Amino acid sequence: MTSVLLIYPYFKPRRDRSVFRFPPLGVGYIAASLLSAGHEVQVIDCTFLTRDEAMQQALAARAEVVGIYCMVTMLEDSFWFARRLRANCRLLVAGGPLPSCDPAPFLDSFDVVVNGEGEETMRELLSAYSQGADLQRVRGIAYRSRAAGQQEAGIVFTPERPLMKDLDRIPFPAREKLPNTNYIQYGRKKYGFSITTVMSTRGCPYRCEFCSNVVFGGSYRERSAGNVVDEIEQTLSLGYERISFADDVFTLKRERVLAICAEIQRRGLRFQWECLGRVDAMDYPTALRMKDAGCTRIYFGIESGNDQILKLMDKKITLEEARRSVHAAHRAGLQVGAFFILFYPGDTDDTVLETLRFAGSLPLDYLGLTMPYPLPGTALLERVKDRHPRNWRPEDSRFGNHVLIFDAGFSEAKMCFGILKGRVEFEIQKRLGRLAPFCLRLFEMPTDALFRLLK
C-alpha cells in the first residue's frame, strides 16, 4: 500500500465572475481507482482554500506519491506546488490536459507525466514504483532517464495506453474525498440549490478547431443507462439536489438519452438536471422526454452567428440548425443557454456584430460570451502559432476574467467591449419586456458605432 496525495490546484482568480463551480471529477476518478487497488489516498481540492491553507494540508499529508492535476488555467499553481513539495515526497506526478499535450516542460519539475486517461496508468505506475520495477513497463507515461555515460537525462515516452472500452467497470469518483459540504453550501448560496457533475460518456467524435480533446482523444464511449443512474443515486445521497452532466455532448445519441430518461423515471427519482447538447442532435420530442425526466436546462455551443465562421471553426453545424434546436428546446419548456466565441481568427467587425444579433434573436435564458483561447493540442493553436501564443495568467487580465493569450487582430480592449456590449444587450432583452426592442435600438446604435471605431 502506498500513501498518495492528489491535488486539484484551482484557486479562484481575483477577478473571476464565473458562476460555475463543480467538484473535480477527474481527480475523483483517479482517487477511486487507487483506492480500489488498496492505496491510501488523500485529496486536496483547492477551490475553497487559500494557498497557505492548501500548502499546509499538502505538507501535513506526508504522502510518498503526489499527483498534481493541470490544465491551462492552473499551470503556475501546479508548478508552485511541485517546487514546494519536491523534497517532501518520493514520486511527483503530473496529469491532466496540459501535461498530456506537452510533457517535456513538466519533467523539469515532476518525475513522471501521465498522458491521457489516467485510472489504469496511475495504478500501474504505483505498482511499478512500489516494486522498484522499470517504469518503461508502464504504458502512457513520460519520464526522464539518464543512460550510462550521459550527463543529461533524455525523455522516455512509453507506448500509448489504449482507452478503456467498458466504462461501466470504472469505479465511481471518490466523492467522499472531496469537500462536498463546501460545494453544497456554495451552490445553495449562489444558485439557490446544490449541484454537482456526472459524466455519462467520455470524448467527442467531432473536431472543432478550438476544442482540446487530449485526454480522451477522438473517442466517444458510453456508459450504460443503469450504471449512470446508479451513480446519480449515490451522488444525490450526499445531499446534492441537481445534476449537471459533464459530457462533451450529452445528446449525441437520441436512443441513449431516452434510455437514461426512462431509467430515471423507472426508479421514481425526482431531481432536476442539465446538460450540454449539439444543435444537430436535438429535436422537440427528445426535449419533451428530457423535460419529463427532470431536465431543466440545456446548453448549446453555437459559437458564431455567421455560417462562414462556423465552417472555419469546423463546427459542422449551421445557423438554421442552431435556431431550430434552440426553439425546440424552448418550446418543450427547457431553459436554454448558448455559448459564443467572439473575435475568432477570421472574424471581422461585421461578423462579430452578426453573432451578437443572432444570439439576441434566440429565446435564451443564459448567454455565455468569450474570446478565443488557442489551447495546447488544438488545431486553432497550430493556426495562430506565429502570433506569439502565451500562457494564461489571470493576473494579466484587465477586464474581468478574460485574458488575451495571443496577438489577435483585435485589441483586448475591443474584445472586452464587444463581450460587455453583448451581455448588456442580452440583459435588456431579458429584463425589459415590451420595452426591450425600443431600448435595444437606442443602445445598439451608439455602441455599434463605438465598437467599429475601436481597434
Q: How far apart are CA 272 and CA 287, in angstroms?
A: 14
Cell numbers linked to 280: 444537430
The answer to whether the beta carbons of residues 228 and 259 sit under 8 Å apart is no
Strands 295-303 and 272-277: parallel
Would you say residue 387 has pLDDT above 90? Answer: no
Amino acid identity, residue 397? S
pLDDT in tens, 138-156: 999 999 986 544 445 689 9
pLDDT in tens, 31-61: 999 999 999 999 999 999 999 999 999 999 9
Domains and CATH numbers, the chain: 3-157 (3.40.50.280), 327-455 (no CATH)
Would you say residue 184 has pLDDT above 80? Answer: yes
Give the CA diameter of the chain: 79
The answer to whether the beta carbons of residues 342 and 355 sit under 8 Å apart is yes
User: Under the phi-then-psi rule, with left for phi > 0, alpha for psi from -120 to 50, and beta for the rest, what region is 208?
Assistant: beta
Looking at per-residue pLDDT, the higher value among 20 and 189 belongs to 189
pLDDT in tens, 408-441: 889 989 999 999 999 999 999 999 988 989 999 9
Cell numbers linked to 264: 430515471
| 175 φ/ψ angles, rounded to the nearest 5 degrees | -65, -25
| Residues in a beta bridge with 91 | 65
User: Under the phi-then-psi rule, with left for phi > 0, alpha for psi from -120 to 50, and beta for the rest, what region is 279?
Assistant: alpha
Would you say residue 396 has pLDDT above 60? Answer: no
Nearest to 196 by CA among 260, 267, 246, 233: 246
- Reported confidence tier of residue 358, pLDDT bands at 50, 70, 90: very high
Q: How many residues does the chain have?
A: 455
Give the pLDDT score at 17.
62
CB neighbourhood size of 257 (10 A): 25
